[in-house]
C-alpha cells in the first residue's frame, strides 16, 4: 500500500514513523521547511519510552512529485487545511482513501445529517473549498487518542497513548466496511491500538465534547488542566458549555451518555497537563479554534439552538487570539 503523510508534525510524524518502520507500506510525506530538511537528512524519527524508532523517509515539498496514493493521511493544523487541500489533487486517484487525523470537527461532519441545511460548515471550510478538493466518498473518519510533541523539526516525542478510531463517515452510523478494515489492519500492524468504529462521528463528537473547553480555557489563562478543573467557577462554566455541546450532539445523532463531571474526573487524571492549544500559544502558532469551538457554535446556530456558554468561550478565545496575532482579524 502506498501511503502519504501530509503534515509530518507531531501526529503525522507519529503515524508515518510507525507505518514506515513496520514495513508493510511504502510511506512518503509532503512536508516543508525545516521538517522537510530533517526528513531528508535523518528519515522518520520517533522517540519513545523504549528508545528511538527510525526509518527511511521519502519526503517532497510538492504532492506532484509523489503521484497517486492508496491512502493519504492529513495531519496538519486546522488553519492550514484549506491551502493544503488545494494541493492534494496529484495524490488522489479514484480509489484513494483520505484519512484526516486532526483535532475537532472535520469539514465533512454534517454531510447527510437529517434536518441540517445543506452547505459547508463555514467555520472549518469557508466557501466549501476543502469539500470540493476532497470527495466525501473517499474520506474515512479518524480520532486520535495520543499525546505527542515535536522537540525539533522532524523528531516526534511520544508522551502517552496510541489509540486510533477509524470508520466510515456517513451520518447515522454507516456500519463497518472492508476498506476501513484494511486501513485498521495496516495501522494495527504498525503497533497502534485501533478500533474499527461503526459510528465514527459519535467518537469524534465525544472527544470534542471532552476537550472543547479545556483547550481554549487553558490557552487564554495559561493554566494547566489541574488548575482549570480546580477553580469551581471555571469548572462550572466548562460544564455548562459541555451541556450545550451534548444537546447539539443529541440533535445530530451523536449522543453523549456521560455527565460533564464524569468527564472532568477522567481529565483530572492527566494532572498538570498542558493542552495542545496552550502549547500553540506558547509557541506563537495559530489557534485551532474554529474546528474545536467555532464549528460547535455554528452547528448550534444553524439548528436554532441557544448556546450562550459556547458563544462566550468562542468570543473570548477569538479575541485573545486576535490581540496576539494568533487568529485572523476578519
Name the 3-class secondary structure at 230.
helix
Considering the domain architecture, whether residues 163 and 209 belong to the same structural domain is answered as no
Looking at the annotation, which residues are catalytic? 207
Closest CA to 12 of 97, 91, 101, 86: 101
- 163: its cell numbers: 489509540
Considering the domain architecture, whether residues 23 and 76 belong to the same structural domain is answered as yes
The confidence score (pLDDT) of residue 173 equals 66
Considering the domain architecture, whether residues 156 and 296 belong to the same structural domain is answered as no
Q: Rounded to 5 degrees, what are φ and ψ at 239?
A: -60, -40
Considering the domain architecture, whether residues 192 and 211 belong to the same structural domain is answered as no
Considering the domain architecture, whether residues 175 and 226 belong to the same structural domain is answered as no
- Report the C-alpha gap between 168 and 42 in whole angstroms: 35
Considering the domain architecture, whether residues 229 and 115 belong to the same structural domain is answered as no
Q: Which residues contact 136 (CB under 8 A, 6 or more apart)?
A: 108, 111, 169
The confidence score (pLDDT) of residue 174 equals 65
The confidence score (pLDDT) of residue 175 equals 80
**Any bridge partners for residue 149, and if so which?**
157
The confidence score (pLDDT) of residue 112 equals 86
- Report the C-alpha gap between 225 and 48 in whole angstroms: 24
329 part of a folded domain = no
Q: Which residue has the cell 506558547?
A: 282
pLDDT, tens only, 96-139: 999 999 999 999 999 988 888 888 999 999 999 999 999 999 99
307 part of a folded domain = yes
- Report the C-alpha gap between 289 and 226 in whole angstroms: 21
- Report the C-alpha gap between 11 and 19 in whole angstroms: 12
223 part of a folded domain = yes
- Report the C-alpha gap between 256 and 71 in whole angstroms: 31
Percentage of the chain beyond pLDDT 70 is 99
Tell me the CATH number at 262.
1.10.1040.10
Considering the domain architecture, whether residues 210 and 235 belong to the same structural domain is answered as yes
**Any bridge partners for residue 30, and if so which?**
6, 60
Cβ count within 10 A of residue 229: 19
DSSP 273: P
Considering the domain architecture, whether residues 212 and 228 belong to the same structural domain is answered as yes
Q: Which residue has the cell 484494511?
A: 182
Considering the domain architecture, whether residues 77 and 222 belong to the same structural domain is answered as no
Phi-psi group of 309: left, alpha or beta (phi > 0 → left; psi -120 to 50 → alpha; rest → beta): alpha
Find the distance separating the first CA and the last CA of the chain, reported in whole Å. 42
Tell me the CATH number at 44.
3.40.50.720
What are the residue ranges in the chain where pLDDT is below 50?
none
HEC assignment per residue over 19-34: HHHHCCCEEEEECCHH
Considering the domain architecture, whether residues 136 and 242 belong to the same structural domain is answered as no
When divided into structural domains, the chain yields a total of 2
Considering the domain architecture, whether residues 126 and 212 belong to the same structural domain is answered as no
Q: Give the Å distances, CA to CA, from 108 to 118, 130, 203.
A: 11, 9, 15
Domain that holds residue 281: 205-323
Contact criterion met (CB below 8 Å) for 39 and 31: yes
The confidence score (pLDDT) of residue 161 equals 94
Considering the domain architecture, whether residues 211 and 124 belong to the same structural domain is answered as no
Amino acid at each position: 500500500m502506498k501511503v502519504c503523510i501530509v503534515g509530518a508534525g507531531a501526529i503525522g510524524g507519529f503515524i508515518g514513523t510507525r507505518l514506515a518502520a513496520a514495513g508493510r507500506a511504502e510511506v512518503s510525506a509532503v512536508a516543508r521547511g525545516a521538517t522537510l530538511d530533517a526528513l531528508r537528512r535523518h528519515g522518520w524519527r520517533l522517540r519513545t519510552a523504549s528508545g528511538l524508532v527510525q526509518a527511511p523517509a521519502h519526503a517532497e515539498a510538492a504532492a506532484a512529485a509523489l503521484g497517486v496514493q492508496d491512502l493519504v493521511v492529513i495531519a496538519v493544523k486546522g488553519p492550514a487545511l484549506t491551502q493544503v487541500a488545494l494541493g492534494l489533487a496529484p495524490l488522489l486517484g479514484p480509489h484513494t482513501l483520505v484519512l484526516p487525523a486532526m483535532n475537532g470537527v472535520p469539514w465533512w461532519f454534517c454531510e447527510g445529517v437529517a434536518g441540517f441545511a445543506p452547505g459547508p460548515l463555514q467555520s472549518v471550510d469557508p466557501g466549501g473549498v476543502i469539500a470540493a478538493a476532497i470527495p466525501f466518498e473517499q474520506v474515512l473518519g479518524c480520532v486520535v487518542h495520543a499525546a505527542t510533541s515535536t522537540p525539533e523539526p522532524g523528531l516526534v516525542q511520544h508522551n502517552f497513548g496510541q489509540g486510533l478510531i477509524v470508520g466510515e463517515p456517513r451520518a447515522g452510523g454507516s456500519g463497518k466496511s472492508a476498506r476501513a478494515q484494511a486501513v485498521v489492519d495496516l495501522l494495527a500492524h504498525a503497533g497502534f491500538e485501533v478500533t474499527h468504529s461503526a459510528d465514527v462521528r459519535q467518537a469524534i463528537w465525544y472527544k470534542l465534547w471532552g476537550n472543547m473547553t479545556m483547550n481554549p480555557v487553558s490557552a487564554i489563562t495559561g493554566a494547566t488542566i489541574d488548575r482549570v478543573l480546580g477553580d469551581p467557577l471555571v469548572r462550572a462554566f466548562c460544564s455548562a458549555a459541555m451541556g450545550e455541546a451534548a444537546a447539539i450532539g443529541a440533535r445530530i445523532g451523536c449522543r453523549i451518555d456521560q455527565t460533564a463531571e464524569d468527564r472532568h474526573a477522567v481529565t483530572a487524571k492527566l494532572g498538570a497537563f498542558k493542552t495542545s492549544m496552550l502549547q500553540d500559544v506558547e509557541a506563537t502558532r495559530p489557534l485551532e479554534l474554529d474546528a474545536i469551538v467555532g464549528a460547535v457554535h455554528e452547528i448550534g446556530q444553524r439548528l436554532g439552538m441557544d448556546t450562550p456558554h459556547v458563544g462566550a468561550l468562542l468570543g473570548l478565545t477569538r479575541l485573545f487570539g486576535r490581540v496576539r496575532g494568533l487568529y485572523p482579524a476578519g
